[in-house]
Amino acid sequence: MLTNGSHPTLFLSCACANHFSQQSSTAQPTIQYKLSYEIIHIFSLFIFKSHLIKYKSRRTEVIDNTLNPDFVRKYILDYFFEEKQNLRFDFLSSFQLCKSFIIFCVLHRGIPGKKCGTIILSAEELSNCRDSATMQFCANKLDKKDFFGKSDPFMVFYRSNEDGTHDFIGDFTTSYRELARGQSQFNVYEVINTKKKMKKKKYVNSGTVTLLSFSVESEFTFLDYIKGGTQINFTVAIDFTASNGNPSQSTSLHYMNPYQLNAYAMALKAVGEIIQDYDSDKMFPALGFGAKLPPDGRVSHEFPLNGNMENPYCNGIEGILEAYHQSLKTVQLYGPTNFAPVVNHVARYAAAVQDGSQYFVLLIITDGVISDMAQTKEAIVNGAKLPMSIIIVGVGQAEFDAMVELDGDDIRISSRGKLAERDIVQFVPFRDYMDRTGNHVLSMARLAKDVLAEIPDQFISYMKSRGIKPNPAPPPYTPPGHQHHHTQI
């Protein structure tokens, strides 16, 4: 299979509607209104190179005499799902007298109590080619290269200006356009060894290669599905086992320092604040496991942090943090460390929505070695068939070697002789990402970058395995009374 894609890059364009004018209705007709706008993009990538966030800005053209500008100049930026990429839009307007003398220039930050208009943003993903070509060849009467037997031939594809170094039989040249004809007389190629041809007068060829089949499929990207309306549902599960230590003591991993976040809260914010932007209602289930619950002290491995069994949803990441803090005051840390119940909890929701409209991400934050490995492996193998991914973050100084078995990067996880269809688990110990200088913002950015980087590929692998195509993107938003038109610059 040959694919030709590009790194996700966005083409950002901007227009404005009913932009607030600082001119009064009695302004002199000789004063003309000009508007420009500037995009300041905070490149999160620079966080990893220094402790300072650096800025890179772009500015549009200036458009005369309109409060509904439709800017022509575009802005290109790379897209990273795993990073928080902030954009700030500043509006600069100026008045000119007789088009020569600038009276003043003011930066619009918004005026309290005033509606200053609407910004209309559109983003288009750029790529050179999304086609994936699958082709099948056969060869006939190739030269023998082994002294005592037949050759072990293989094909290597090069661009026309590239070359390779192998035990050479011969080559032939073709093009995508010719291959796209499919199996025909035009796609039978003579394999030619130029050196052999020059030495032997009766040389014909070193065999033939025939194209048996050729098919082309369009490759859809993660952003195609997001633009088509697919929602990413985020669930967090927090370890409340006794090995975390007494939450009232500063040595505990659950200790609530009034001046800084603990490791659980940092991991939650690092991952959650990025994923939340892909969920329209920002209501997230938050679960705990390994604790004794009031009033009877029963041990639970799947309890809602907000105490509501019927509705475990919290409002945003701050809502999860608040529910987490309240749970620490009401439950008793206990054990053991069981993952299977929370994995199966998310799997039940994912099993109910397999049409591509939703994808589920479970974040498990834990301090210790898993106690129900066999049951968790079975839950993960079953979950690999569903639209879901699992991120496991280990906090504290425990040995997490056994956890690596759940991360199928090297060896695909299996249960009862059955291999998982996909790799859906990413495990990391948070200590590997802690900044040595104590910069928690940097630590959180490093963690998020690593654990979230695999989500788009896991997402695409599910959609592709089920043959699910993205829905068409909705038409661009146009405010009432705004018409897209070419403006004179």
Question: Three-state DSSP class for 81?
Answer: coil
Is residue 361 domain-shared with residue 277, that is, in the same domain? yes
Q: Regarding predicted confidence, which is higher, 332 or 279?
A: 332
In a domain, 211, yes or no: yes
Burial of 8 (0-12, 13-18, 19+ CB in 10 A): middle
Residue 319 clears pLDDT 50, i.e. is over it: yes
In a domain, 476, yes or no: no
Q: Regarding predicted confidence, which is higher, 148 or 233?
A: 233
CA separation for the pair 237, 282 (Å, rounded)? 17
Total residue count of the chain as it appears in this document: 489
Q: How confident is the model at residue 149 (pLDDT cuts 50, 70, 90)?
A: low
Is residue 192 domain-shared with residue 264, that is, in the same domain? no
Residue 24 clears pLDDT 70, i.e. is over it: no
Cα Dmax for the chain = 99
Q: Regarding predicted confidence, which is higher, 103 or 360?
A: 360
Is residue 84 domain-shared with residue 154, that is, in the same domain? no
What local confidence, expressed as pLDDT, does residue 400 receive?
87
Boundary (domain end) residue, out of 126, 148, 168? 126
CA-angle at 242, arms to 239 and 243, nearest 5°: 85
Q: How confident is the model at residue 116 (pLDDT cuts 50, 70, 90)?
A: low
Among 21-30, 91-100, 356-365, the range with the most confident prediction by mean pLDDT is 356-365
CA separation for the pair 223, 11 (Å, rounded)? 13
In a domain, 33, yes or no: yes
Q: How confident is the model at residue 474 (pLDDT cuts 50, 70, 90)?
A: confident
Is residue 254 domain-shared with residue 199, that is, in the same domain? no
Q: How confident is the model at residue 50 (pLDDT cuts 50, 70, 90)?
A: very low
What local confidence, expressed as pLDDT, does residue 86 receive?
74
Is residue 321 domain-shared with residue 206, that is, in the same domain? no
pLDDT digits (tens, 9 = 90+) for 179-202: 888 888 888 999 988 888 888 888
Boundary (domain end) residue, out of 218, 244, 277? 218
In a domain, 438, yes or no: yes
CA separation for the pair 392, 108 (Å, rounded)? 44
Residue 7 clears pLDDT 90, i.e. is over it: no
Could you tell me the CA-to-CA distances from 138 to 155, 172, 211, 408, 455 in Å, in that order? 10, 14, 7, 35, 38
In a domain, 179, yes or no: yes
Q: Regarding predicted confidence, which is higher, 310 or 368?
A: 310
Residue 377 clears pLDDT 90, i.e. is over it: yes
In a domain, 293, yes or no: yes
What local confidence, expressed as pLDDT, does residue 52 receive?
42
What local confidence, expressed as pLDDT, does residue 22 receive?
46
Is residue 282 domain-shared with residue 370, that is, in the same domain? yes
371: DSSP letter:
S
User: Which pTM does this prediction carry?
Assistant: 0.75
Residue 384 clears pLDDT 60, i.e. is over it: yes
What local confidence, expressed as pLDDT, does residue 47 receive?
38
H or E stretch including 345?
helix 340-351
Is residue 444 domain-shared with residue 361, that is, in the same domain? yes
By percentage, how much of the chain surpasses pLDDT 90? 43
What local confidence, expressed as pLDDT, does residue 331 receive?
97
Pairing of strands 313-315, 283-289: antiparallel
pLDDT digits (tens, 9 = 90+) for 270-297: 999 999 989 889 999 999 999 999 999 9
* CATH value at residue 248: 3.40.50.410
In a domain, 206, yes or no: yes
What local confidence, expressed as pLDDT, does residue 117 receive?
73
Is residue 243 domain-shared with residue 392, that is, in the same domain? yes
Strand partners, 78: 9
Query: Mean pLDDT of all residues in the chain?
Result: 81
Neighbours of 179 (CB within 10 A): 17
**Mean pLDDT value across residues 299-318:** 96
Residue 247 clears pLDDT 90, i.e. is over it: yes
Query: Quick one: tokens of 134?
Result: 């699958």
pLDDT digits (tens, 9 = 90+) for 154-172: 787 776 555 555 678 888 8
CA-angle at 411, arms to 348 and 429, nearest 5°: 75
In a domain, 81, yes or no: yes
Is residue 343 domain-shared with residue 428, that is, in the same domain? yes
Boundary (domain end) residue, out of 218, 240, 267? 218
Q: Are 291 and 334 within 8 A, CB to CB?
A: yes
Q: Regarding predicted confidence, which is higher, 333 or 71?
A: 333
Distance of CA 55 to the CA centre of its chain: 22
**For residue 354, how many C-alpha atoms fall within 13 Å in the half-sphere facing its CB?**
13
State how many domains the chain has.
3
**For residue 450, how many C-alpha atoms fall within 13 Å in the half-sphere facing its CB?**
18
* CATH value at residue 121: 2.60.40
Q: Are 433 and 443 within 8 A, CB to CB?
A: yes
- Residue located via tokens 């966080």: 47
Burial of 480 (0-12, 13-18, 19+ CB in 10 A): exposed
Is residue 30 domain-shared with residue 141, that is, in the same domain? no
Is residue 28 domain-shared with residue 138, that is, in the same domain? no
pLDDT digits (tens, 9 = 90+) for 198-228: 888 889 998 899 999 988 877 888 989 998 9
Q: How confident is the model at residue 352 (pLDDT cuts 50, 70, 90)?
A: very high
Residue 129 clears pLDDT 70, i.e. is over it: no
Is residue 193 domain-shared with residue 261, that is, in the same domain? no
Domain range spanning residue 289?
229-465
Phi-psi region of 229 (alpha: psi -120 to 50; beta: other; left: phi over 0): left
Q: Are 349 and 302 within 8 A, CB to CB?
A: no
